[in-house]
Amino acid sequence: MMDFFGRRRRGGLLKPLLSLLLVCASFLMLHRLAERHAALCGPECASFKKGPVRSGWWVSDSSEDPERASNRTPAFWDAQVLNCSEDASVRKKEWFASLDQRFHQFVLHRHCRYFPMIINHPEKCADGEVHLLMVIKSVIEQHDRREAVRRTWGREQTRDGRKIRTLFLLGTPTTGKDTKNLQKLLEYEDRIYKDILQWDFMDTFFNLTLKEVNFLKWFDIFCPTVQFVFKGDDDVFVNTPNLLQLIRFRVEEHKEAQLFVGDTISKAIPIRNRQSKYYIPKELYDQPYPPYVGGGGFLMSSRLARRLLVVSEKLELYPIDDVFLGMCLQRLDVTPEMHPGFRTFGISRHKTSRMNREPCFYRHLIVVHRLSPQELLDMWGSVHHQQLACAQRAAV
């Protein structure tokens, strides 16, 4: 709190002015996009004027799977009222006083798992079978990243008869942000694209695990017929055709039921360096980590996603989302598959290496982390350029 007020005073008038300008500029941009969109699709886009779809909606019964259709259970988000006050008993624990301050909020609210939804899309998976659902963690102010993803690898489409759908997962703005305007912009953006899921929890680093568990629950309720889920960050490059090919291979090998593949990290231990973003104090966790997959991007089968939801409810939340999923996988006795096509630390770990900007490598990979929105758009253009001549195999 001290920190926040301290910074505010130094910023003076400039900061609020700048943020107001930014909001105006974003609004104008979105408005222009909306006009273009309306011009493209004409009167059938009338539904586009409706507000964001709220939770409590019933899934249409036209295309449900037979099991659900037979007993006609209405699908709705049931975490409506929430009393997430802090757990006072935690303060009395002897380790609480010595625990690093950064973790106080986390441990005091650790019992709060499911949150009400502010923006929902119960219809996302309802019309026919979705082959692959692309699910992307994003934060409210990074609409430029979402825009780049929609125009590249996250474009909703049907490829060889396989339907691809996209969703962004968001919480609410963190303290000190211009919440009201950001929320208005987000709802506007969602009216255009209908691809935002938003929950009523603050979008902080330690709350990323909430995104994970709320999504698993959402997926279980609203997407009974989806086959595969790709989950990733909004600053990655994904080679969609290669991802689909990987799915085809695993299906041919009958390995799809347990499918969980990405950039697997084995034998890691908690980071004890207090400067690190990933620092975990001993009071919180004092064991080696189970194998887990870097959260930049991974692929899983929907069957496994449903089993993950079941075990996740038996585990206490852990502040690092990738590791939390690793803990769930361990409970299920599933070892995540390591695949060299997933480069969540970049192609070369040397950030300045030219390999990280070489389109021929991107042609052969599946996921590369991390690119700015402009880099993503440029790279997508280069990789898909007919004239790009690459050697048969660009070994990486």
Ligand X SMILES: *[C@@H]1O[C@H](CO)[C@@H](O)[C@H](O)[C@H]1NC(C)=O
Note whether 106 and 280 are within 8 A (CB). no
* Contact range with ligand X by CB under 6 A, out of 24-32, 77-85, 147-155, 180-188: 77-85
Choice between 166 and 207, CB closer to ligand X: 207
Q: Residues 6 or more apart from 108 whose CB is under 8 A from it?
A: 86, 87, 90, 91
The reply to whether 330 sits near ligand X by the rule CB under 6 A is no
CB atoms within 10 A of CB 277: 7
Choice between 204 and 335, CB closer to ligand X: 204
User: In angstroms, rounded to a whole number, what is the distance separating the alpha carbons of residues 335 and 367?
Assistant: 20
- Interface pattern 203-242 for ligand X (x via CB under 6 A): -x-xx-----------------------------------
The reply to whether 55 sits near ligand X by the rule CB under 6 A is no
Place of tokens 């009201």: 180
User: In angstroms, rounded to a whole number, what is the distance separating the alpha carbons of residues 295 and 321?
Assistant: 8
Helices assigned H by DSSP within 124-178: 143-151
Q: Residues 6 or more apart from 28 whose CB is under 8 A from it?
A: none
Number of residues counted as binding ligand X (CB under 6 A) = 11
Choice between 70 and 83, CB closer to ligand X: 83
Note whether 87 and 294 are within 8 A (CB). no
Which run of H or E residues covers position 262? strand 260-262
Q: How far is the CB of 100 from ligand X (least distance, A)?
A: 12
For residue 100, the SS3 value is: coil
Q: How far is the CB of 140 from ligand X (least distance, A)?
A: 13
The reply to whether 80 sits near ligand X by the rule CB under 6 A is no
Q: How far is the CB of 205 from ligand X (least distance, A)?
A: 8
The reply to whether 109 sits near ligand X by the rule CB under 6 A is yes
Q: How far is the CB of 322 from ligand X (least distance, A)?
A: 16
Q: How far is the CB of 109 from ligand X (least distance, A)?
A: 5
The reply to whether 85 sits near ligand X by the rule CB under 6 A is yes
Choice between 183 and 204, CB closer to ligand X: 204
Nearest to 355 by CA among 345, 201, 142, 46: 345
User: In angstroms, rounded to a whole number, what is the distance separating the alpha carbons of residues 41 and 316?
Assistant: 47
Note whether 195 and 121 are within 8 A (CB). yes
User: In angstroms, rounded to a whole number, what is the distance separating the alpha carbons of residues 327 and 213?
Assistant: 13
Q: How far is the CB of 280 from ligand X (least distance, A)?
A: 13
Residue 119: strand pairing partners = 198
The reply to whether 110 sits near ligand X by the rule CB under 6 A is no
* Contact range with ligand X by CB under 6 A, out of 202-210, 244-252, 304-312, 357-365: 202-210
- Interface pattern 158-197 for ligand X (x via CB under 6 A): ----------------------------------------
Choice between 201 and 228, CB closer to ligand X: 201
The reply to whether 106 sits near ligand X by the rule CB under 6 A is yes
Nearest to 173 by CA among 162, 161, 183, 188: 183
User: In angstroms, rounded to a whole number, what is the distance separating the alpha carbons of residues 330 and 126?
Assistant: 32
Please select the residue that binds ligand X; options are 77, 114, 153, 201, rule is CB under 6 A: 201
Place of tokens 């996603």: 305
The reply to whether 202 sits near ligand X by the rule CB under 6 A is yes
Choice between 35 and 100, CB closer to ligand X: 100
Name the site residues for ligand X (rule: CB under 6 A). 83-85, 105-106, 109, 201-202, 204, 206-207
